[in-house]
Amino acid sequence: MNFKTFISNIKSIFTKDITADPFTFYNYYSQSGGPRNPYKDNATIYSVINAIADNIGQAELAFFDWNTNKEIYPEELMNLFKKPNPCMTLDLFLEAIIMYLMLFNEVIIVKTLSVGNLAGTTKLPAELWVFNPKKFSVINDDPKNPIWQYNGQNFTKEEIIHIHKWNPTKSEGYNRPFSPIDPMKKELDIDYQGLAFNEMFFRNGGKPSYIMSTDKPLSDAARKQLRADWEANYKGVSKAGKLAIFDNGLKFEETGTTHADMQYIEQRDKTKETILGIWRVPKVILSMTSDIHYATFQGQMKAFWLYTLQPCLKRVASELNLQLINPYNPQIELRFKYDNVSAFAEDLKDKISIAKDLKDLGFPLNEINDKLNLGFNPQPWGDEWWMPMGVIPASQYNDYMSFGNDVPENNNDKKQHKIILGKSASEKYDMKVANLFIQKHRNFELMFQPKIKGFFFNMRSKILELIAKGEFNPDSYFWNGDKEKITRIMQPLLKQIITAGVDFGNLLIPSGKGINKGIEEDINNAAIQRSIAMKGIVDTVEKQIKKKVAEMIVEGSTVSDMVAPIRQIFNVASSRALMIARTESTGALNNGTYLYWQGLNIYGKKWLSYFDESTRESHKEIHGQIRSMNEPFSNGLMYPGDNTGVRSSETAKEVINCRCTLSPVTINPNLGE
């Protein structure tokens, strides 16, 4: 079959499908005396399905970059979904998908091959056609490679997108669901036949409204005359209330509504509630509440979106991504946006109020946006944490206020007071500098660590998902995407820490210059350089995974065998988050201080080690070492945590887990004080 013939056949099939009854149900209903087509014959089902389909239009189909989480506009995909086929717009296409999915728990979308498909230049089809799934059968019942058939024409799984719910009652073969109509067949039959009886009731065919009787025999002519006279004189609204006179022993008896008639009405209400329950549609959608008010309406509409429409759209998006978008470009993800959904409009005010509170607590704007689903585009500066830098622990207040004085103001701790008095003025000053640095450092360390852990967690989830789909290849995986992501995530925080280091340098040597344009540019450059250097943690994971996968290939391991070792690699990487946070916080803080002092007319800097059980021996040895501003210390670093230039593995060891800092040296000590 050539390309033109294939396209022509698809259009012909689709045209026949939509001109026939598109929602026809088979077998049960026509045989049982119930409705052959519940969608057309049952007003409640019709209303429910249309309410779902009509409201779906408020959601907006969009495409996002998998790595950056930003909305993108891929031209080929946009054009395909703008008009999926010559007979449908995007709105009608989605409406058909949702209606079939609601009625049958499944929908069939046929992909027509493009010229690019045949030439092997693209995996994106030319058109997408929606079909009634009940008209398709799986002829080989193979769960992995099903062959679909419609009206004698076969389709492979590559030509079909099958969106469906799981059927737990089918344990073998290809899993196809049953319709949500099936569990209420009997109720629909009772409702349908009751409605038919009710129709006859009002046509006076089901039961007479009154009876006239006599003990005397009546001829056929007398009966007909009696009926004609009664209807001529007393039947109809205009003759209501007229006096009726009987002779010849005639008696009149009116028949009332029986208890069984009342039960019919109750049964119809129960059937309606069953239908609403199966599709999780609130009564307010069908105006079935008498005491409805605005708050109730909004609450039910929100529940309708949260528990009915959003899960349905999520299923559609997930399957379109798996069966259509991923083969075309795995870096693109189709999602539905709910910014214009009226049911969620009332939440916006509450969300904005919560967002303000979170911002005041210091949370980054992008994180607030993601957490509250505000729908705004991520901002390049929105990953930065905010904190009032003037706030210090109350226990440190006296030390802060007496900073630079020879004698401390806090004399409550006699042991500490004795130690300080036993040191020289410069030693006491250096100890205060080190203590204040640790206070600042600890805050940033606590901010840094969860970002690193979160990054590793997301990266692991993405790779494990690819493994589960059988699509992970360490040689073709987009490692550079993760490297760019770690740079983007960490750069704002590194800039914040470097800026805090500048403030710390100004605290030690107040110059009145503050952060001017020149130093701000240096801060930005330093943050960029340090964030780029953080790509190294992705390099480490990449090397470990590639090595492990290569070993497993040699051992003949299966794809599923990869999960545990790769999970372990990420667990180890995540356990290093505190070490990375401590190392980077130290380097960024000291980097800022060093940048600030370079712009001042001072001689140099002094290395201050923070002494506890974790302090490395080499740092104990250079404690108090003095160098001019542009001269490295004896360990090769310009400042504690320095990651600039080419360093050997020995000098790199001087940086990891370091908590040392600098003290300013205003004049050359060789010239005397």
251 exposure class (CB count in 10 Å sphere: 0-12, 13-18, 19+): exposed
Task: List own/partner pairs for 342-349 with CB under 8 A and 24 or more apart.
Answer: 342/58, 342/301, 343/298, 343/301, 343/302, 343/304, 343/305, 344/302, 344/305, 346/298, 346/302, 347/302, 348/374
- Residue 170, both tokens: 């089918």
pLDDT band at 3 (very low <50, low <70, confident <90, very high): very low
Same domain, yes or no: 52 and 116: yes
Q: What mean pLDDT is predicted for residues 537-557? A: 88
pLDDT band at 343 (very low <50, low <70, confident <90, very high): confident
Quickly count: other Cβ atoms within 10 Å of residue 623's Cβ.
Answer: 16
Same domain, yes or no: 145 and 210: no
pLDDT band at 10 (very low <50, low <70, confident <90, very high): low
Same domain, yes or no: 129 and 18: yes
For residues 95 and 240, the model is more confident at 95
Q: Is residue 658 part of a domain?
A: no
Q: What mean pLDDT is predicted for residues 445-458? A: 88
Contact 339, 305 (CB under 8 A): no
* 3-class SS shares of the chain: helix, strand, coil, % to 5: 55, 10, 35
Contact 302, 344 (CB under 8 A): yes
DSSP β-bridge partners for residue 110: 129, 160
Task: Single out the residue in 572, 600, 628 at which a domain terminates.
Answer: 600
- Residue 257, both tokens: 């509504």
Same domain, yes or no: 62 and 33: yes
Residues 6+ apart with CB under 8 A from 111: 125, 127, 128, 158, 159, 160, 161, 324
Question: What would the pLDDT profile of 190-215 be if each residue is shown by its tens digit?
Answer: 777 777 666 665 565 445 666 777 77
Residue from 27, 53, 52 nearest 185 by CA: 27
- pLDDT at residue 414, rounded to an integer: 34
Is residue 402 scored above 60 in pLDDT? no
> DSSP assignment of 221-285, as one string?
HHHHHHHHHHHHHH-SGGGTT------TT-EEEE----HHHHHHHHHHHHHHHHHHHHTT--GGG
Is residue 534 scored above 80 in pLDDT? yes
Question: What would the pLDDT profile of 616-625 be if each residue is shown by its tens digit?
Answer: 888 989 999 9
- Residue 592, both tokens: 């800022």
DSSP β-bridge partners for residue 106: 164
Residue from 455, 456, 522, 533 nearest 495 by CA: 522
- pLDDT at residue 575, rounded to an integer: 81
Same domain, yes or no: 101 and 57: yes
Is residue 25 scored above 50 in pLDDT? no
Is residue 394 scored above 70 in pLDDT? no
Contact 146, 174 (CB under 8 A): yes
User: Of 117-131, 352-366, 402-416, 452-466, which gets the smallest average pLDDT?
Assistant: 402-416
Is residue 41 scored above 50 in pLDDT? yes
144 exposure class (CB count in 10 Å sphere: 0-12, 13-18, 19+): exposed
Q: What mean pLDDT is predicted for residues 80-91? A: 94
Contact 133, 185 (CB under 8 A): no
Q: What mean pLDDT is predicted for residues 348-376? A: 78
Residue that the structure tokens 């059988």 belong to? 470
DSSP structure class, residue 347: H
Domain around 211: 185-233+242-286
Q: What mean pLDDT is predicted for residues 146-167? A: 92
Helix extents (H) in 20-156: 28-32, 38-41, 43-56, 75-82, 90-104, 115-119
Residue from 147, 79, 129, 134 nearest 105 by CA: 134
> DSSP assignment of 363-388, as one string?
--HHHHHHHHT--PPP-TTTT-----
- pLDDT at residue 410, rounded to an integer: 38
Q: With residue 531 as reference, give the H or E element that holds it.
A: helix 517-533
Percent of the chain with pLDDT over 70: 77
Residue that the structure tokens 């992909």 belong to? 111
Q: Is residue 390 part of a domain?
A: no
**Interhelix angle for 577-598 vs 425-468, to 10°?**
130
- pLDDT at residue 34, rounded to an integer: 53
Residue from 395, 396, 417 nearest 407 by CA: 417
Same domain, yes or no: 281 and 175: no
- pLDDT at residue 628, rounded to an integer: 93
Question: What would the pLDDT profile of 372-386 be if each residue is shown by its tens digit?
Answer: 877 677 776 677 666
Task: Single out the residue in 542, 567, 600 at which a domain terminates.
Answer: 600
Question: What would the pLDDT profile of 158-183 be if each residue is shown by its tens digit?
Answer: 899 999 999 999 888 899 999 998 88
Same domain, yes or no: 531 and 572: yes
Phi-psi bin for 204: left (phi > 0), alpha (psi -120 to 50), beta? left
Q: Is residue 345 part of a domain?
A: no
Residue from 304, 312, 320, 318 nearest 128 by CA: 320
Contact 216, 248 (CB under 8 A): yes
d(CA 466, CA 66): 13
Same domain, yes or no: 24 and 171: yes
Same domain, yes or no: 555 and 436: yes
Contact 180, 105 (CB under 8 A): yes
Q: Is residue 270 part of a domain?
A: yes
Q: Is residue 410 part of a domain?
A: no
Q: Is residue 344 part of a domain?
A: no
Contact 567, 464 (CB under 8 A): yes
* Top-confidence range, 97-111, 346-360, 418-432, 449-463: 97-111
Domain count, the chain: 4
- pLDDT at residue 400, rounded to an integer: 39
Same domain, yes or no: 56 and 146: yes
- Residue 472, both tokens: 């992970």
Is residue 479 scored above 60 in pLDDT? yes
Residue from 421, 416, 406, 489 nearest 450 by CA: 489
- pLDDT at residue 262, rounded to an integer: 53
Percent of the chain with pLDDT over 90: 33
Is residue 265 scored above 70 in pLDDT? no
- Residue 408, both tokens: 């401390």
Phi-psi bin for 151: left (phi > 0), alpha (psi -120 to 50), beta? left
pLDDT band at 26 (very low <50, low <70, confident <90, very high): very low
Residue that the structure tokens 């409805």 belong to? 292
Same domain, yes or no: 94 and 193: no
d(CA 53, CA 559): 41
For residues 408 and 3, the model is more confident at 3
Q: Is residue 60 part of a domain?
A: yes
SS3 annotation, 132-153: CHHHCEECCCCCCCCCEEECCE
3-class DSSP state of 107: strand
d(CA 415, CA 432): 16
d(CA 435, CA 557): 53
Q: With residue 506 as reference, give the H or E element that holds it.
A: helix 479-508
3-class DSSP state of 65: strand
Q: Is residue 221 part of a domain?
A: yes
Residue from 309, 316, 382, 537 nearest 68 by CA: 382
d(CA 399, CA 103): 73
pLDDT band at 515 (very low <50, low <70, confident <90, very high): low
- pLDDT at residue 160, rounded to an integer: 94
Q: What mean pLDDT is predicted for residues 554-559? A: 81
Start-to-end CA span in the chain (Å): 96
Same domain, yes or no: 554 and 508: yes
